[in-house]
Structure 1
Amino acid sequence: MLHTALMSFFPAIQTLPTNRPLTKQDLLREEFLVDKEESMEIYYAPHNEYINLEAKVMIVGITPGWKQMKTAYEQFLKSMVSGEDLETCLKETKQAAGFAGSMRTNLVHMLDQCDLPRILGISKSSDLFGKSRSLLHTTSIIKHPVFIKGKNYTGHQPTINRSSLLQHYAYREFPNELAQMATPALVIPLGKTVEQVILRLLEEQKQLDHTYLFGFPHPSGANGHRIHQFQQQQSQLREKVMRWGQGK
């Protein structure tokens, strides 16, 4: 099935080079612009088209960054050149672009410490990004990459609640994705910005019947307080994972 958003950008994607790494000049251009508000620009990326509706675990970031966007396009082009059908292209793109690099390393280490592998019946949390990928869905509260003057948006300046554009994605589009997931999923919000959005959705009595792992630190290497935050939260996080495992 050709997704509506993909259909709009597919002609431009077909013009991208496949013989070299993609650059910001290739991707941060008018043909891929989704929305704009003052110095903020939102661009299309193909890795959030695929939703693993049967996933047991859902990991939620703020928004894809440039590296994820670049990885997504390069994988999509690679899959397309290999002759894969579009659904397979999108699935492989999602798998390649989900929290890659050091962020994934930090993330799986904390998930291991929360005893998630034992609850899921897998050997280690890194398997969620490999042979046990069917158990995982990765996403963002703002599904498309957001840039402020060409730099990754980090959840600040402006905050989500100070931007009508960002609020649209966080409070109207994201809950629709949450509602599609098979329940009860274990939803892991990465950091306080994502956590605050989900808490507001729950306060508004959205029917989002999942287990939420609040208190989970953002795994970015830029979060210098990550280790201390996790040590403070580890006991309650592990207990919540165990309770979710008993009820699923």
Structure 2
Amino acid sequence: MGIKSYSEMVAAIQKLQFQQTKDLPVLDELKIAQEGNISSYYIPFDYVSQNAKVVLVGITPGKTQLFNALSSVQSSLTKGLEQEEVLKMAKNEGAFSGTLRNNLIKLLDHIGLHEKLGITSTASLFDRDAHLVHTTSVLKHPVFINGKDYSGSTPNMLKHPLLREMINAYLMEEIRQLPKAIYIPLGPKVSQVFEYLIQQGLLQDQQVLFGLPHPSGANAERIAYFLGNKARESLSNKTNPDLLDKAKLEILEKLSLNFN
């Protein structure tokens, strides 16, 4: 799979007209892959902070994030901004926003990441200290199943040829640019991909902080227990406290190894 870049796609982005509708057919010129009911579209997330010490990794951008990023590029181009600034702004558009971001900050501060980075709170990673973090996805460009956001479950991205090819082409290239960073996979599906990447020799196990609860609002109980805000005896049977305790210990050990 050939890697698509901003320079190849900028002309198509400039011509887009999606003020009236935010449906995928208006983005046909940005489609980079189609196989059966699976489609993928270019998103202008080329910018990589070369000084990043931490990489936060989700599954894939959703439709809202895709249109927000494209709108950001169009707006930046009308202002005459330089390419790096255009891409930086597009990347920051909606990255881990709302409840997701608030929960993520609490989790990262709880494990002491801010202290290891020498900042007062990981909240500043989304503001003045953005150079210390890189945000990405195992499937860098948005993937849709029958036009709907891909959840990471079906098909299995490590077993589906197209999705695995996208991981190999895009995610591996980003990792090669940031070989010494700490990687934080968000959720079990992302963690499975990072286990594969470790097997491939791209990363060391100690670089990957497995087991941090996904910061989604739907994951409130696991987050509350991890943060020490909910007692073990109050948990529902959907939450496994032993797994969370084990994950926290391993995360703290890896942080001390990486920031000694």
Conserved? CA contact 1:202–1:208, under 8 Å: yes
Q: CA RMSD in A?
A: 2.3
* In structure 1, C-alpha distance between the alignment counterparts of 2:25 and 2:83, rounded to whole Å: 20
Aligned mates of 1:228, 1:100 — CA distance in 2 = 19
Describe the superposition over 1:136-191 as per-residue Cα deviations: whole angstroms up to 9, x where unpaired.
101111110011111110101111133110010123431221111152x1110111
Counterpart residue type for residue 9 of structure 2: F
1:45 alignment counterpart: 43
Displacement, 1:98? 1.9
Percentage of pairs with the same residue: 36
Per the alignment, residue 24 of structure 1 pairs with 22
Seen in structure 2, the aligned counterparts of structure 1 residues 198 and 41 have a Cα distance that, compared at 3 Å, is same
Given candidates 220, 244, 248, the residue that maps to 2:258 is 244
| Letter paired with 1:57 | V
Amino acid at match of 1:69: L
Counterpart pick for 2:60 among 54, 60, 63 = 63
5+ long unaligned stretches in structure 2: 228-243
Shift of 1:104: 1.2
SS of the aligned residue for 1:144 comes to: coil
1:151 aligned residue: 148
> Could you tell me whether the CA contact under 8 Å between 2:51 and 2:132 is conserved in 1?
yes
Match of 2:218 in 1: 222
1:199 matched residue in structure 2 = 195
> Whole-Å Cα distance in 1 between the matches of residues 25 and 36 of structure 2?
19
Q: How does 1:1-248 map to 2 (within 5 A)?
A: 5-17=5-17, 20=19, 23-25=21-23, 29-46=27-44, 48-183=45-180, 185-206=181-202, 211-223=207-219, 226-227=222-223, 230=226, 232=244, 233-246=247-260
Q: TM-score, normalised by structure 2?
A: 0.83
CA distance in 2, matches of 1:154, 1:28: 22
Q: Which runs of 5+ in 1 are unaligned?
A: none
Structure 1: 4+ residue segments shifted above 4 A: 207-210
Larger-Rg structure: 2
CA drift of 1:29 comes to 3.0
Partner amino acid for 2:32?
Answer: V
Q: Distance in 2 between matches of 1:87 and 1:34?
A: 22
TM-score in terms of structure 1 length: 0.87
Structure 1 residues 27 and 228: CA distance shift in structure 2, 3 A: farther
Q: Which amino acid aligns with 1:36?
A: Q
**1:225 Cα deviation after fit:** 5.2
> Does the 8 Å contact 2:4/2:42 carry over to 1?
no
For residues 223 and 139 of structure 2, what CA distance do their matches in structure 1 show? 26
Q: How many residues align?
A: 240
Q: For residues 160 and 37 of structure 1, what CA distance do their matches in structure 2 show?
A: 13
- 1:179-221 Cα offsets, whole Å, 9 max, x none, are 11152x1110111111111111211223568711011122122
- Aligned-partner SS, 1:161: coil
Cα distance change, pair 39–83 in 1 and its aligned pair in 2 (3 A): same
Distance 2:199 2:225 in 1: 25
Query: Aligned-pair distance for 1:42?
Result: 0.4
- Counterparts of 2:153 and 2:51 in 1: how far apart (Å)? 32
1: distance between equivalents of 2:126 and 2:92? 7
